[in-house]
Structure 1
């Protein structure tokens, strides 16, 4: 695969990560492994502004964050976009870390466009008492900025207000042309190729807004085909969760057997000639297995063997987390907070950001991915985003029958707090995980300046922020509790 440039720069990586970006200029192209068909990757991503323009959003006016209304889940589909999206000229977009990159490479790089005052808060990262240790390099005082424009008051929770006090980074609105095209393709795949859902679930599929979700999380994907790799896997994972575990007939009873057989769609069974046909036929027997099988076939066409094995490993982690939660549900056991957080490190979003290099059209080699420091970064990213999901889905889960475990519920049960106090403490847990993620990413970028490491770290940070964006704006699924 080609040697990567950086992914669209991300505010949640401090400037320490950016110092090493210039090393990528000296690297040559790597060959695609023999016999491995590769997706077209398009032009190489430049260092500096991203491969397609990213339009910055204003910084939040308060701790509640910026306002944003819901984005329609469906509607008229624009004309299909080309497979390879055009790459604008240098300086065409508002890269969130473009200014720190230019400062780091000032001795060798041509001067870029003037900094955007609206980005200053995003670039600086966390501030205030106790946050200095999150940065691996001293922070510079921000330059004098023009007076910020007066922002409208935050809309009510039903219109997508972010959780007050939650630490997150705003992201640009995802490319609408890509959103429309990914949404069109994924629905066609789900309906026609794998029959993932019956007609009566169509509104729920549209309300999931998976196209907007994946475009926000992977803005550096070279083509729509690359975006579809992540989108199919995301839909397949949710089909398994819904049909085996939760909303649509899911049950903890017998879950282990169902998950094991579904996992063989990702990690094929090597058996005798006599029994192989029965196993192969079983992969078409229900929507979860059909979805896993098809999504994995598309993924392995683009991924290296190492990337495919990495994904299988992370999906095994996910399934183990499903089984722990199911066991607690069967015995009506409410885990201690530390036990719940341990479960959530496995039953979480980890398989999604871990494929950021495949979706970006490059590879983080196995030895670099396996570094303990890299594993810590990936784990913290998955943990933080999963607690964010607990917080945004809290109201939805309380309305479902039975006891649904999430962090605020567990904190309230074990620490004797009110629902509101437990929820606010869960916000603090999320923030602590985010700070730890950013500090670990900055430290790794400083200690291992391989440009592929830096790009992968940025890609994971982009995914973290895009995941929050989707939760905040998906008012079809989520609304906030009335705690403020």
Structure 2
């Protein structure tokens, strides 16, 4: 299998766009498409003034615009791109356009010799290597997320601390969002990621989860994201319920921070994607309860919902801009997002394979389902799952490249690049997280 090569600022997306006519891109810029990218400028929340036990807050501090220009990165690799294409990928310049550029660390970069990347990639897997994430940002995000988990939402008891640290969520989010203008933006994604994993662990899997009664738990937790509108008599009981367990406390707090930085359409998009996620949890839980092993296509359908989709679709909020709702809703964009979510989730199936086999009970993942439903060995099932992932990745890249050509709007190009970056960063984290994952001996 050919080596796909390094990630061009982590995105494999705009290569096909290089063939798009320079005059068309210039016309698009002349028509004012840059204005579509100026929706939500970068914002920086202030940290809470003092730690407090979990309580229904009035909301995180209102976020203020970031100051100072954010330098733009080099354009994504493309064969001899036209000047107009380079202009699109670089983004506009001048007063008021700082929010449209890739973010960089606030501190000057210190040149360092690149060290070896931890962990081994899965042989034959199609992926793009990424640069090591900014260590200063990783350290600060890791510090802040642990303080949030402990002091703001009381997310886990002391004996879970090693597992929390081993998750390496700071490194994960910095790798997936290199365009974040600052740590405050990175924290938007990091809180939501930790909250989503708390729901998965505590309601569904490792830490007391069970398919029995799962629907009721998920529905009540979802009201922390999509608030209940009810009568004055019953509203206080619902509000109190948001403090009743760690997953709901985490959802409530993470969503309040997110609402301060997002537009109403971005927040509603996220709620929709979380409803999709919860529906996927319910399908997997129902199969576990009835001991049903789905057909391969059924499993892949479930994984389109029980997957990482909510994470890459907030890439514009984390980047400090907005992909307008009508562009996000286009069928071509929805296909790109779905394929990205599907490919990244199969990466999780593959890297977590041995971890899940060692856990109590039976865990469904793509290699297990293929082996059982297609009557092949564990090794053959695993290797075929690698090929399924590779097909999804190539389809994702082709669909993204096609959309970049047919809709060369700056916000679309930046969003597509951000999703591709998230795909690459997600693989990086799985490969390098040797605390959680190890590969089977199939080669």
Given candidates 313, 320, 331, the residue that maps to 1:372 is: 331
Question: Aligned pairs, how many?
Answer: 385
Distance 2:77 2:14 in 1: 12
CA distance in 1, matches of 2:371, 2:40: 52
Cα offsets for 1:184-232 (capped at 9, x unmatched): 0000000000000001000000000000000000000001100000000
Q: Does 1:403 align with 2:403?
A: no
Offset of residue 262 of structure 1: 0.2
More helix by share: 2
Contact 1:39 1:225 in 2 (8 A): no
C-alpha separation in 2, matches of 1:39 and 1:347 = 34
Structure 2 residue 421 is matched with structure 1 residue 443: no
For 1:140-219, list aligned pairs within 5 A: 160-219=119-178
**Do residues 305 (structure 1) and 330 (structure 2) align?**
no
| Alignment match, 2:78 | 100
> In structure 2, how many angstroms separate the alpha carbons of the residues matched to 1:200 and 1:30?
45
Unpaired runs of 5+ residues, structure 1, are 1-6, 51-94, 113-150
Q: Does 1:284 align with 2:243?
A: yes
Q: Does the 8 Å contact 2:38/2:322 carry over to 1? A: no
In structure 2, the residue matched to 1:16 is 16
C-alpha root-mean-square deviation of aligned residues, in Å? 2.6
Note if 1:358 corresponds to 2:336: no
Look up the match of 2:53. Answer: none
Following the alignment from structure 1 to structure 2, what is the Cα–Cα distance between the partners of residues 284 and 336?
Answer: 39
Which of 374, 395, 403 is equivalent to 1:415? 374
Q: Please state if 1:428 is matched with 2:371.
A: no
Aligned to 1:320: 279
* SS of equivalent residue, structure 2 residue 323: coil
Distance in 2 (CA, whole Å) between partners of 1:230 and 1:17 is 29
1:452-473 Cα shifts (integer Å, max 9, x gaps): 0000000000000000000000
Name the SS of the counterpart of 1:100 in structure 2.
coil
Normalised by the length of structure 1, the TM-score is 0.75
Q: 1:321 to 1:31 in 2, by over 3 A?
A: closer
SS at match of 1:481: coil
Once residues 297 and 458 of structure 1 are traced to their aligned partners in structure 2, the CA distance between those partners, rounded to angstroms, is 27
Deviations, residues 16-74 of structure 1 (Å, cap 9, x unaligned): 246688766963584659xx95553455556xx51xxxxxxxxxxxxxxxxxxxxxxxx
Any idea what SS the aligned residue of 1:103 has?
coil
Q: Which structure 2 segments of 5+ residues have no match?
A: 1-6, 42-60, 91-113
Q: Which residue in 1 is equivalent to 2:65?
A: 40
Correspondence for 2:341: 382
Residue 218 (structure 2) aligned to one of 236, 250, 259: 259
- The equivalent of 1:144 in structure 2 is none
Which residue does the alignment assign to 1:81? none
Distance 1:423 1:166 in 2: 11
Cα drift, residue 107 of structure 1:
9.7
